[in-house]
Amino acid sequence: MLSLTSFALVALFFMQLLGLYFYVQYFCGWGSIFREDCVYPPNPLVTDKRTRGKVLRKGFSKIKVPPNLDALVIGSGVGGLSVAAVLAKAGKKVLVLEQHDQAGGSCHTFQERGYEFDVGIHYVGQMHEGGMFRVIMDQLTDGQLQWNRLANHYDSISIGHRVYRLYAGKKEFPDALKMQFPGEEEAIDKFMFLMKKVARHVALLGTLKILPEALMRQLLRSRLLHWISPVFRMSESSHQDIMDGLTRNKDLQAVFSYLFYGVPPNDSSFMINALLIHHYKRGAWYPRGGSSEIAFHMIPLIQRAGGQVLVRAPVSRILLDNGRATGVAVQRSEGEVCVYAPVIISDAGIFNTYERLLPAEIKTIPEVHSLLSSLQYGMGCFLVFVGLKGSSDELGLKSTNLWIYEENDLNCLMGKFSSMSCEEMCEQLPLMFITFPSAKDPTYSQRHPGRSCMTLLTMAPFEWFSRWKGQQPRHRGEEYEEMKMKLAQGMLGRAIEEFPQLADKVDYMEAATPVTNEYYLRAPEGSMYGAEQNCSRYQSDIINKMRAQTAVPGLYLTGQDVFSSGLAGAVHGGLICACAVLNRILYLDIILLKKRLKSRIRQRKSM
């Protein structure tokens, strides 16, 4: 009896301590690495090429490797930089090694004949002030990265020449849809309801990846979690199945899965599609100064803690000692250079990490083997970069993006598309995306006066160009160039049907195939968004298994393969990875910071 009382007293004492801890955290942010005073008023945009190069293009050499590293990251995509920046905030000295000649991964940009093009950031959602993702991005960039909001009408979707418009805003979004789909009010409300549920509960899926795997496996097996939240079921259900329960209107069904990523609605997770729509519901943003700004403002945090981000540093293998990851070998013309650190983190994707960077026997470990065989390479993409004479204003270009579908049955369309040859694709163009980066960034016309740019995008199976796998850019021969430019011309023609004022303004055109993506980003088979995001990937047991910890002690994964893709997905991958490395639930710190900021915003508004 006595022992029970003393147990209760001790428990009470600890609960009070915990309460005190949260109280102090909440009001002061003590002990947290995420604090409001880490965010400074933005400095003027740096446009000087050399100054930017010093941050983004610092070349690897052995003497630049800082001594006594705490961690080493393979790959400088936003997944790699975000985990490095969080570790740096916790005082760790981190080295990031990038094989390309500049940092940023999919967030890098390139310049050609006075034009600048970004590779993999078209627009980003949830950047409203006080929002969780905005708070995170501000923390990871000292508040230096600025976001420019796109027009309220941020996307148009053309389905067989019927055009639907999406408007940002909690109320505007459903209201605009209801105007365009009379009689479908109930289906739209129902979808909004489910979408909200998914967005509210998705943190539970993230939690799976933070708490111990074996425990989570047991909880999943008992179906206890499925009983607690519907998000597990929604993640496992195919998008099509849930849509069929809401409406028979094929156009509306297509609108609710309009952001293509290579998987048809009948094979994709409802959770992912709902999150994608939810992501932009409050608005769409574009980095002011272009997407290279993301890496440009994350790197100083890493350097400040004594770390470095070095490019032209292709890692050829991860070094193991008694089964533990202890370092990496960097492939240089003069031979391999070995770099050691107690923690190794890979942003190179789950396939590269297991299939190329680790010894073959690791793949035969049963849990690794079973995980990899339940995943596949994601589909590649085909990009056309178009330089236009005249500023965005002169050409009347808008920040609104346009998604084009030839028909409304996206299952059929994706099925047809996957079996098409590249030649057939040139003629039919079943799906395509058009965007004007220069119209989304007010600084573009200052940085590139009298010019503007357009990017066209479609999906592309690797097989179309696989004959040229492994060959250097510009050395792939005439046949490759011809095939590539024929598809590019076809897409340009389609874009000019939509924007006839551009017909005589095209000054420059270049195209990128899955082989290009494989070369510059090391994306296996040029996959656009990492591992294929089909419904199997979002079964709860796979979500639980795809985590930052790997089968190799000391080795962690970050980036888009940890949870999901996109800038937000890759940054959350970085945060989940940092939780694993620091053994700390950093999300609590972020939630508390967000609450403090929110009450401050409320105070400011009420003054």
Ligand X SMILES: *[C@@H]1O[C@H](CO)[C@@H](O)[C@H](O)[C@H]1NC(C)=O
Ligand Y SMILES: Cc1cc2nc3c(=O)[nH]c(=O)nc-3n(C[C@H](O)[C@H](O)[C@H](O)COP(=O)(O)OP(=O)(O)OC[C@H]3O[C@@H](n4cnc5c(N)ncnc54)[C@H](O)[C@@H]3O)c2cc1C
Residues 537, 375 contacting (CB under 8 angstroms) = yes
The CA distance from 296 to 144, in Å, is 10
Among 158, 237, 376, 443, binds ligand X (CB under 6 A): 376
Q: Does position 266 bind ligand X by CB under 6 A? A: yes
CA-closest candidate to residue 97, choices 59, 141, 54: 59
Beta-carbon neighbour count of residue 393 at 10 Å?
Answer: 11
**Binding piece for ligand Y, criterion CB under 6 A, among 31-39, 318-326, 361-369, 567-575:** 567-575
The two three-digit tokens of residue 196, written as one number: 């909200």
Q: Which of ligand Y, ligand X, none has residue 77 at its interface (CB below 5 to 8 Å by kind)? A: ligand Y
By CB under 6 A, name the one of 488, 528, 579, 580 that touches ligand Y. 528
Q: Which residue is nearest to ligand Y (CB)?
A: 77
Q: How far is the CB of 263 from ligand X (least distance, A)?
A: 8
Q: What does the DSSP 8-state code read for residue 44?
A: P
Residues 401/434, Cβ–Cβ less than 8 Å = yes
Q: 374: helix, coil or strand?
A: coil
DSSP string for residues in 271-331: HHHHHHHHHHHT-EEEETT-THHHHHHHHHHHHHTT-EEEBS--EEEEEEETTEEEEEEEE
Spatial contact of 529 and 262, defined as CB atoms under 8 Å apart: yes
The listed partner (ligand X, ligand Y, none) that binds 387, CB under 5 to 8 Å by sort, is: none
**Residue 415 lies near ligand X (rule: CB under 6 A):** yes
- Which residue, 437 or 490, has its beta carbon nearer to ligand Y? 437
Task: Tell me if residue 599 falls in helix, strand or coil.
Answer: helix
For the bound state, the minimum distance from the C-beta of residue 422 to ligand X, rounded and expressed in Å, comes to 21
Range 199-258, binding ligand Y (CB under 6 A): none
Answer with the entry of ligand X, ligand Y, none that 415 interacts with (C-beta below 5 to 8 A by kind).
Answer: ligand X
- Copy the structure tokens of residue 271: 């959770």
- At 355, list the tokens: 């299939």
Hey, what are 24's tokens?
């102090």
Query: Ramachandran region of residue 79, left (φ > 0), alpha (ψ -120 to 50) or beta?
Result: alpha
Q: Kindly state whether residue 236 participates in binding ligand X, applying the rule CB under 6 A.
A: no
* 529 is a contact residue toward ligand Y (CB under 6 A): yes
* Binding to ligand Y in span 314-343, by CB under 6 A: 314-315
CB of residue 605 vs ligand Y: minimum separation in angstroms? 29
Q: Whole-number minimum distance, CB 200 to ligand Y, in Å?
A: 21
105 touching ligand Y, by CB under 6 A = yes
Q: Which stretch binds ligand X (CB under 6 A): 264-272, 323-331, 344-352, 548-556?
A: 264-272
559 counts as binding ligand Y under rule CB under 6 A: yes
Q: Is 81 helix (H, G, I), strand (E, B) or coil?
A: helix
Closest to ligand Y by CB, 79 or 327: 79
Residue type, 187: A
Q: Which of these segments, 73-81, 262-270, 440-448, 555-563, binds ligand X (CB under 6 A)? A: 262-270
CB 417 within 8 A of CB 431: yes
Tokens of 568: 């937000």
Question: Which of the listed partners (ligand X, ligand Y, none) does 489 bind, with a CB threshold of 5 to 8 Å by partner kind?
Answer: none
Q: Which positions from 138 to 177 touch ligand X by CB under 6 A, shown as an x/- string?
A: ----------------------------------------
Residue 110 carries which side chain, given as an amino acid letter? F
Residue whose pair of structure tokens reads 């656009």 in the numeric block: 528
431 binds ligand X (CB under 6 A): no
Q: Rounded CA gap, 99 and 97, in Å?
A: 7
DSSP strand pairing (162-167 vs 124-125): unpaired
Determine whether 495 is exposed, middle or buried from the number of CB atoms within 10 Å of its CB (0-12, 13-18, 19+).
buried
Residue 572 contacts which entry, ligand X, ligand Y, none (Cβ below 5-8 A, type-dependent):
none
Phi-psi region of 86 (alpha: psi -120 to 50; beta: other; left: phi over 0): alpha
Distance, CA of 576 to CA of 206 (rounded, Å):
8
Number of residues that bind ligand X (CB under 6 A): 13
Stretch touching ligand X by CB under 6 A, among 209-217, 252-260, 325-333, 532-540: 532-540
Contact between 266 and 53 (Cβ < 8 Å): no
Near ligand Y in 409-468, by CB under 6 A = 457
| SS3 of residue 70 by DSSP | coil
Nearer to ligand Y, 100 or 451 (CB): 100
* Binding to ligand Y, residues 61-80 (CB under 6 A): 74-80
Report angle CA 421, 422, 427 to the nearest 5 degrees. 100
Q: Which residue from 560, 572, 589, 594 is in contact with ligand Y, where contact means CB under 6 A?
A: 560
DSSP 8-state code for residue 390 = S
In this complex, which beta carbon is closest to ligand X, that of residue 125 or of residue 569? Answer: 569
Task: Select from 375, 379, 384, 575 the one that contacts ligand X (CB under 6 A).
Answer: 375
529 burial type by CB count under 10 A (0-12 exposed, 13-18 middle, 19+ buried): buried
d(CA 191, CA 481) in angstroms, rounded, equals 44
Binders in 363-402 for ligand Y, by CB under 6 A: 381, 383
One residue of 134, 448, 522, 537 binding ligand Y per CB under 6 A: 522
Least separation, in Å, of the C-beta of 517 and ligand Y?
Answer: 7
Q: How many of the chain's residues bind ligand Y (CB under 6 A)?
A: 40
> Distance of CA 59 to CAs 6, 65, 73, 265, 336, Å?
62, 11, 15, 43, 16
b/e 64-102 (16+ beta carbons within 10 angstroms → b): ebeeebbbbbbbbbbbbbbbbbbbbbeebbbbbbbbbeb
Q: Considering beta carbons, is residue 60 or 405 the nearer one to ligand Y?
A: 60
Cα 371 from Cα 366, distance rounded (Å): 9
Among 98, 236, 293, 589, contact with ligand Y (rule: CB under 6 A): 98
The verdict on 290 binding ligand Y (CB under 6 A) reads no
SS3 201: helix
Spatial separation of the C-alpha atoms in residues 563 and 349, rounded to whole Å: 11
Rounded to the nearest whole angstrom, what is the least distance from the CB of residue 123 to ligand Y in the complex? 5
Q: Check binding of 235 to ligand X (CB under 6 A).
A: no
Contact between 532 and ligand Y by CB under 6 A: the answer reads no
The answer to whether 536 contacts ligand X (rule: CB under 6 A) is yes
Asked if residue 412 binds ligand X (CB under 6 A), the reply is: yes
Binds 124, which of ligand Y, ligand X, none (CB < 5 to 8 A, cut-off by type)? ligand Y
Binding status of residue 352 toward ligand Y by CB under 6 A: yes
Q: Which is nearer to ligand X, 385 or 529 (CB)?
A: 529
* From ligand Y, ligand X, none, interface partner of 234 (C-beta below 5 to 8 A by class): none
Contact positions toward ligand Y, by CB under 6 A? Answer: 74-80, 97-100, 105-107, 120-124, 314-315, 347-348, 352, 381, 383, 457, 521-523, 528-529, 559-560, 565-570
Q: Which residues of the chain form contacts with ligand X (CB under 6 A)? A: 264, 266-267, 374-376, 411-412, 415, 532, 534-536
